[in-house]
Structure 1
Amino acid sequence: MGVPYTTAELIAQHKASLMDSAGLFVAPNDADFLRHLRIAGRAVGVRKRPRTHAGQLQLEAGQVAYPAPADLIQVKGSPWGVQELQTAPWNMPRGPLPTLRLVAAGTAQELHLSPPPNAAQIAAFGAVFPFYYFAAHTLPDDPGEATSVTDIELDLVLLRAKAEAMRELTIRNHSKPITLRAGQGGESQPKNMTAAALYQAFLDEFNKAE
């Protein structure tokens, strides 16, 4: 799996890939660079190098809403009650099995079960509801702490982070040509383009990457 990079190491590599344009991001404590990397970590964690995690809910009959894991991006599914439905449907309690959904609740996220499990279902299948979900890459605020990014994901994370940086510069109406490294893997040939053009070029490269 490789050794995870620290937050500081990822930020340093991201800055290096941005070259002179890194100086356009001036938020304290490298907050701009950390934001780019976290957005990239979400994109890579779902679309390119899926990270499947396991979670569980402690069920209460009739309860709809439950707290969601902090790194949850997208729900995959749950085996709760499925085997019983397939092997002995005549013994199933009344009512459909609940469907798990991710729901925005203000600034937080919640997991909702619809319809909520009833007491008979909980008695038959158990009060623990296991589920699987796609997880974002973790990048702690503490620069010295380990992230979940290793060499396997590094190039994709940096590429998508560069695209995000260019998107932000485009929004700021930055129209002057920018010098950036053309790609990953040690290439040093500069590429002079506007932020908007670079954003599209990097995003296209990311979308085509295997």
Structure 2
Amino acid sequence: MKDTFKHKGLRQQLVAVVKDKGIKDEQVLKAIGKIPRHLFMDSGFLDHAYQDKAFPIAANQTISQPYTVAFQSELLNIKNGDKVLEIGTGSGYQTAVLCELGAKVYSIERQLELFKITSKFLPKLGYRAKKLIFGDGYKGLKEEAPFDSIIVTAGAPFVPKPLLSQLAIGGRLVIPVGDDIQIMTLFIRKGPKEFEKHEFGEFRFVPLLEDKN
């Protein structure tokens, strides 16, 4: 697992691209500049690792576009030590960004193949989530709630109610809502039953899979 000067240079170019697209959070930009994204991808895609594009990974899933990762991360407004729930561990790239931002990360993945790969791979890079769980993200993680932030990294046809209920007061849920094209949506919990909703334009994600068992 090599991370060369060339890779580091390509990452700085990627940071510049993401910054040009409007990402302002210095901590998020620093995380994108530090994490070796090429190691999260099949070696056949090495040339594409630092382009601002999504790419296929195992189990018919994708590693998200760096801009999308940065955009969602910026909306979370993470403070050091925040308890964050991630729905859809995927390649683990977003998980690594959350770790770099100082979050205590709890992450759920429902594709067993991906879960096995990522749970072994992340610690090798030095990224230790509090918990990596194989399960159904629609249900959230009630036993660890409340969370300061919840991030959903797949397109959700609707907003799962358990996720809203597991937010701390003042907590933020960032979720792409929609079927073919999603609207990036931020919910801020203002009270026990009160939520403020903001929408941030169109994005495309692989669908969030609900456990049918």
TM-score scaled by length of structure 1: 0.26
Q: Whose relative contact order is higher, 1 or 2, with alpha carbons under 8 Å and at least 6 apart?
A: 1
Larger radius of gyration, structure 1 or 2? 1
TM-score (norm 2): 0.26
